[in-house]
Amino acid sequence: MPTLSRRHPAAIALLLLLGLLVTGTAYSAVAPKEAQASVAASDSVANGKKLFVANCATCHGANGLGIDEVGPSLAGVGAASVDFQMGTGRMPMTEPGVQAKDDGQVKFSDEEISDIAAYVASLGAGPAIPEEEYTDGSQGDPGKGGQIFRVNCAMCHNSAGAGGALTRGKDAPPVTGVSGKHIYEAMQTGPQSMPVFNDQNLSPESKRDVIAYIEAQQEAGNPGGNPLGSLGPVPEGLFIWTIGLGLLVGFAVWLGQKSA
């Protein structure tokens, strides 16, 4: 009479697989959030490295440490610098030049930029992407922000934030129409010729006040008419001399011909 206790040879392997599946599912449900975040961060860095090698290594080197006379090292620039440069369309540069221009066309998705930023951040400690509470201008004081802006920023960006020319073919871009996050990151990282305003010389709250001032400038508009580049009395005087006096001379000539 055949025994009923004999098992199929694959039964043990099937039981082992089932046990591993149950164990893995249970761990994923109860694992600490820190461990899950660590795995997600590791994946982000790995994806970011692949994107970096494919799109950035030509100028910055496969290891991100730069190439002489081509692209600088990115070790220590931090995630904030990457998020600003790529989030505003300045990087990758469309063509070599003395300054990376904002062409208004972002080449990568937010997730891809975040992954590349995570990889660059892994190369060395640097400024992190700011928290949302410090980039929300509605929580800042535009009055205090205006004082800070006029003392530290107006000499390059113009008191109205319209931008201006610098030396050696460079320029300070307009800051109006720029998101609060990117304004904060620019102050934090000092792109191009801009100085760095770290948390020691300009607190996160003060940076938020500057954002509030810039946003207030945008909301105010130009009730006086065409701002003529917001460059002050120089273009206004030029307009009067060229257009205003030209009209007066033309009117005088017309009167003289009419009375002849």
Q: Which domains does the chain have, with CATH numbers?
A: 39-126 (1.10.760.10), 130-223 (1.10.760.10)
The amino acid present at 76, given as its one-letter code, is: G
**Mean pLDDT, to the nearest integer, of 165-177?**
87
**Mean pLDDT, to the nearest integer, of 169-182?**
90
**What is the per-residue pLDDT across 95-146, written as a single tens digit (0 to 9) for each?**
787 888 887 789 999 999 999 999 999 999 899 999 999 999 999 999 999 9
For residue 22, CA distances in Å to 8, 13, 15, 28 come to: 22, 14, 11, 10
Q: How far apart are CA 184 and CA 157, in angstroms?
A: 15
Q: Which residue has the higher pLDDT, 24 or 165?
A: 165
**What is the per-residue pLDDT across 181-223, written as a single tens digit (0 to 9) for each?**
999 999 999 998 899 999 998 999 999 999 999 999 888 766 6
Q: How far apart are CA 145 and CA 80, in angstroms?
A: 21
Among 20, 222, 141, residue whose Cα is nearest residue 28: 20
For CA atoms 165, 166, 171, 176, give the dihedral sign: negative
User: What is the crossing angle of helices 110-121 and 78-87, to 10°?
Assistant: 150
Question: What is the pLDDT, as a whole number, of residue 259?
Answer: 72
Q: For residue 67, what are the β-bridge partners?
A: 71
Give the least confident one: 35-49, 160-174, 199-213, 220-234.
Answer: 220-234
Give the least confident one: 7-21, 107-121, 153-167, 236-250.
Answer: 7-21
CB 144 within 8 A of CB 209: yes
CB 218 within 8 A of CB 174: no
